Amino acid sequence: MARREENNQEPEKKKKSLKWVLVGAAVIIAVLLGIFLWIQSLKEDKLADTTSIQVIKVEKLESYYSIEEALEEPEKVYSLDLSESDLASVPIKDILKLPVLLDLRLNNNKLKKLPKEIGELKDIRWINLENNQLEQLPKEIWDLKKLEYLNLSNNKLTELPKEIGQLINLKKLWLSHNQIKALPEEMKHLIKLECLYLEGNPISEKEEEKIGELLPNIKVIKFPERLVYVLAPLRWLSKHQNPDGSWSFSDYHKKCDRENPCKHIDNLEIAKHKDADKFATGLSLFCFSAAGHTQKAGYYRKQVQKALKYLTDLQNDDGSFSDNNLINAICILAVCELAGMTGDKNLIEKATKAVKVIIERQNQNGGWDYTSPSNSSDTLVTGWNIFALTSSKLIKVNVEDSLKKALNYFKLITPDIQEGTEPILKTHCKDRWQPVVKREIPTSNTATAVCLVSRLCIGEKDIRLLKAHANTLRKHFPKDFKKADPYGLFFSFAGMFHMDEKRLKDWRNLLLENLCKKGCAGGSWDPTLHPASQHGGRLLTTALTSLCLEIYYRYLPCAILMVDKPGKKKEPEE
The enclosing domain of 312 has a CATH number of: 1.50.10.20
Fill in the DSSP letter of residue 83. T
The residue from 223, 255, 287 where one domain ends is 223
Class of residue 222 by CB neighbours under 10 A (exposed 0-12, middle 13-18, buried 19+): middle
pLDDT at position 499: 86
217 and 235, same domain (yes or no) = no
Q: Which strands make up the sheet holding 172-174, listed edge to edge?
A: 63-64, 79-81, 103-105, 126-128, 149-151, 172-174, 195-197, 220-222
In a domain, 263, yes or no: yes
User: Residue 34: what pLDDT?
Assistant: 65
Same domain, 90 and 211: yes
For residues 491 and 547, membership in a common domain is answered with yes
- Phi and psi dihedrals of 15, rounded to 5? -65, -45
Q: Is residue 17 part of a domain?
A: no
Residue where one domain finishes, among candidates 223, 248, 275: 223
Q: Are residues 357 and 385 in the same domain?
A: yes
Closest CA relative to residue 51, chosen from 140, 192, 477, 43: 43
- CATH code of residue 181: 3.80.10.10
Is the residue at 328 inside a domain? yes
359-363 long-range Cβ contacts below 8 angstroms, 24+ apart = 359/389, 359/399, 359/402, 361/325, 361/328, 362/402, 362/405, 362/406, 363/409
The answer to whether position 538 is within a domain reads: yes
Q: Is the dihedral of CA 17, 21, 22, 27 positive or negative?
A: positive
**Cβ 427 vs Cβ 417: under 8 Å:** no
Please tell me what DSSP assigns to residue 525.
B
Query: Would 95 be classed as within a structural domain?
Result: yes
pTM: 0.66
Task: Please tell me whether residues 189 and 258 are part of one structural domain.
Answer: no
CA 368 to chain centroid: 34
Same domain? For 244 and 376 the reply is yes
- Whether 367 and 481 share a structural domain: yes
Q: Work out how many domains the chain is built from and give that number.
A: 2
Query: Which of 223, 252, 275 is the C-terminal boundary of a domain?
Result: 223
Same domain, 468 and 375: yes
Within a domain: 548: yes
- Whether 235 and 181 map to the same domain: the answer is no
Domain identity same for 300 and 214: no
Residue type, 70: A
Residue 30 lies in a domain: no
Of the candidates 202, 82, 180, 200, the one whose C-alpha atom is nearest the C-alpha of residue 134 is: 180
Which residues, in sequence order, are CB contacts of 131 under 8 Å at separation 6+? 107, 108, 109, 153, 154, 155
Q: Would you call 104 helix, strand, or coil by DSSP? A: strand
Q: Is there a domain that residue 77 lies in?
A: yes
Residue 21's CB is within 10 A of a number of other CB atoms, namely 10
Q: Are residues 134 and 99 in the same domain?
A: yes
SS in 3 state form for 140-188?
HHHHCCCCCEEECCCCCCCCCCHHHHHCCCCCEEECCCCCCCCCCHHHH
Which range marks the domain in which residue 106 is found? Answer: 51-223
Which residues of the chain fall below pLDDT 70? 1-27, 30-31, 33-62, 205-206, 208-209, 212-213, 216-228, 438, 554-559, 561-562, 564-574
pLDDT for 17 equals 65
Please check whether residues 217 and 251 belong to one and the same domain.
no
> In Å, how far from its chain's centre is CA 159?
24
Task: Check if the beta carbon of residue 64 is closer than 8 Å to that of residue 71.
Answer: no
